[in-house]
Amino acid sequence: MPGFEIPRHVAIIMDGNGRWAAARGLPRGEGHRRGVEALRKTVRAAGEMGISILTIFSFSAENWSRPASEIRDLMGLLRRFIRNDLAELHQNGVKVRVIGAREDLDPEIRKLLEEAEDLTHGNDGLTLVVAFNYGARQEIARAAARIAAEVQAGRMEPSDVTADHIGQCLDAPDLPDPDLIIRTSGEQRLSNFLLWQAAYSELVFVPTYWPDFDREALETAIAEYHRRERRFGGLIARTGS
């Protein structure tokens, strides 16, 4: 996209797999499988476009309320994605990070996630942040618990707690907040995704179901981002006034 400054951190709520499948008379699992293909394309496009960080909402802390068979499908897809795609991601210099609560995950899945992080740790291409078993309220509660423990141990005072400090206790404290959050499928809500980090993110909602998302859809969302005026509570300096 010539002439455009590319957002540094793009986060995507990959939604609409089930409806994509239902519209075609297919089982929901087929929608999830096609969703993984859209993810592959999007990761490739993001890297080529010069995006530094891509965060993807893969499985929410609330998605455990779905039927067991669908959860099995989703866990199986994650397993397969890491097994089949990790080598290629690594080859392309992608650095994988994971956010979310790992403790409740199947040990095999935990191991795969750790393997992906360890293998790609030294890479300096696109950072791919996988939000898995992720909920923003839970993430903030984990941060609060860590701070409470510091206070209890006498290492800090309650009055020392600042927004920056809370930010530093979140799951990926070294990463900048997302500039742009895209949600597919037409839903216009955050569904407990990055609530803290989204304070000044631009939100772009697109009607496309996730399996149909591709490079062109990403470019269109970024073009919309460029039409926005980010003010961060301040004023934009205007010439001639």
* 192 a catalytic residue: no
Instruction: Tally Cβ neighbours within 10 Å of residue 214.
Output: 14
User: Which stretch, 13-21, 53-61, 173-181, 231-239, contacts Mg ion (CB under 5 A)?
Assistant: 13-21
Nearer to ligand IPE among residue 7 and residue 211 (C-beta): 211
With CA atoms as reference, report the closest residue to 31 among 228, 238, 199, 39: 39
* 63 a catalytic residue: yes
Q: Which does 225 bind (CB under 5 to 8 A by kind): ligand IPE, Mg ion, none?
A: none
Any idea which residue has 């994971």 for tokens?
98
User: Which stretch, 7-15, 73-81, 100-108, 114-122, contacts Mg ion (CB under 5 A)?
Assistant: 7-15
Nearer to Mg ion among residue 89 and residue 209 (C-beta): 209
Q: Which does 7 bind (CB under 5 to 8 A by kind): ligand IPE, Mg ion, none?
A: none
Measure the N-to-C terminal CA separation of the chain; round to a whole number of Å. 31
15 lines the binding site for Mg ion (CB under 5 A): yes
Q: Which two tokens stand for residue 131?
A: 């939000």
Nearer to ligand IPE among residue 72 and residue 155 (C-beta): 72
**Residue 14 near residue 184, CB atoms below 8 Å:** yes
Q: Which two tokens stand for residue 82?
A: 């890491």
Torsion of CA 111, 117, 120, 124, to 10 degrees: 170
Q: Which does 74 bind (CB under 5 to 8 A by kind): Mg ion, ligand IPE, none?
A: ligand IPE
179 lines the binding site for Mg ion (CB under 5 A): no
Q: Which does 30 bind (CB under 5 to 8 A by kind): ligand IPE, Mg ion, none?
A: none
| Residue 73 dihedral angles phi and psi, to the nearest 5° | -55, -50
Biggest alpha carbon distance in the chain? 62
Residue nearest to Mg ion (CB): 15
3-state secondary structure of 217: helix
Q: Which two tokens stand for residue 191?
A: 């569904």
- The single residue of 17, 63, 133, 214 carrying the catalytic annotation is 63
**Residue 56 near residue 81, CB atoms below 8 Å:** no
Torsional class of 47: left (φ above 0), alpha (ψ -120 to 50), beta (otherwise): alpha
**Nearest-angstrom CA–CA distance, 230 and 200:** 8
Q: Which does 57 bind (CB under 5 to 8 A by kind): Mg ion, ligand IPE, none?
A: ligand IPE
Residue nearest to ligand IPE (CB): 18
List contacts with ligand IPE (CB under 6 A). 13-19, 57-60, 63, 74, 185, 187, 189, 191, 210
Nearer to ligand IPE among residue 17 and residue 55 (C-beta): 17
> Least CB distance from residue 187 to ligand IPE, whole Å?
5
Catalytic residues, by residue number, are: 15, 63
Residues at the site binding Mg ion, with contacts judged by CB under 5 A? 15
